[in-house]
Amino acid sequence: MDVEIVKIIPSQKGALEDIASVYQKTFGSDPWNEGYRCPVCEKVFPLSCKEKECPSCAKAILEEYWPIEKIISDFLTEMAKPKSLCLAALANGEIIGFAWGYEIIVDPSIDLRLEAPGLHQLASGVYFYLDEAAILPPFQNKGIGKKLIQRIFMEQNQSNILLRTLNGSRMFQIIQKMDGKPALLISRDRVIMTLDLSLY
Ligand SMILES: [Zn+2]
């Protein structure tokens, strides 16, 4: 498959909606399954769930877990951060994946921001934080994520990388293959990983 990696700038209006759609479809599927949420029992259901009413408690109408407008506004907030960078993967001209990140300073305030108690005691200084990355389910396991991640690391100039992912996820495996290390296990089976690009 012919996949092209391109840089996205936040003023590209159509691109933002495409990225938000990839975000919603990816995180609404396995292993995240954040498609819908019940406002009463707070259970989470995949996008493939066809029920309108909560199948668990039957007390409320399900709400979208990641509304498109919320994804776009979060993205614009992240892209306003220092040294932000967003790359998208295109197949036949359509956005099928993305990765974005920005520079962070690891200090005591980072523990709260990344929900990672004790992180500032394990790391310090400036890092490129890989904030989000997603590949649409039909395009997963084809090496596109790896290509995207390698490109985003190449296109920024910080050698210390930090990210947060699900323990054992595709991202976890890609980073581990690049000699990245799990630094800290945190809540909801997530893990903070660090990667030193100067070792390359
Ligand atoms: Zn419910």
* 10 band by pLDDT with thresholds 50, 70 and 90: confident
| Span from the CA of 67 to the centroid of ligand 1 (angstroms) | 18
Output the CA 45–ligand 1 centroid distance in Å: 10
Q: Minimal CA–CA distance to 154: which of 101, 104, 95?
A: 101
Question: Which of these CATH numbers, 3.40.630.30, 3.40.1280.10, 3.40.50.300, 3.30.470.30, describes 3-12+68-199?
Answer: 3.40.630.30
- Per-residue pLDDT for 200 more than 90? no
Please tell me the predicted confidence (pLDDT) of residue 12: 84
156 C-alpha vs ligand 1 centroid, how far in Å? 43
| 61 Cα–ligand 1 center, Å | 8
DSSP state, 165?
E
Q: Are 41 and 59 in contact (CB under 8 A)?
A: yes
The alpha carbon of 50 and the centre of ligand 1 are apart by a number of angstroms equal to 14
Over residues 76-91, the mean pLDDT reads: 96
Spatial separation of the C-alpha atoms in residues 23 and 103, rounded to whole Å: 21
12 sits in the region (left: phi over 0; alpha: psi -120 to 50; else beta) called beta
Peptide bond into 31 cis (omega under 30): yes
Residues in the chain: 200
Cα–ligand 1 centroid distance for 34 (angstroms): 14
CA nearest to 163, candidates 121, 124, 191: 191
How many Cα neighbours within 13 Å face the side chain of 31? 11
Distance 37 CA to ligand 1 centre (A): 8
pLDDT at 11: 87
Mean pLDDT of 66-81: 96
Give 53's strand partners. Answer: 61
Query: Ligand 1 center to residue 63 CA distance, Å?
Result: 10
pLDDT, position 129: 97
pLDDT in tens, 148-171: 999 999 999 999 999 999 999 889
Q: What is the CA radius of gyration of the chain?
A: 17
Q: How far is the CA of 42 from the centre of ligand 1 (A)?
A: 6
CA distance 130 to 154: 12
Q: How far is the CA of 52 from the centre of ligand 1 (A)?
A: 11
Neighbouring CB atoms inside 10 A of 143's CB total 12
148 three-class SS = helix
Strands, sheet with 44-45, edge to edge from the N-terminal-most edge strand: 44-45, 36-37, 63-64
- Is residue 71 scored above 90 in pLDDT? yes
168 alpha carbon to ligand 1 midpoint, in Å?
29
120: CA distance to ligand 1 center in Å? Answer: 37
Question: What's the 36 CA to ligand 1 centre distance in angstroms?
Answer: 10
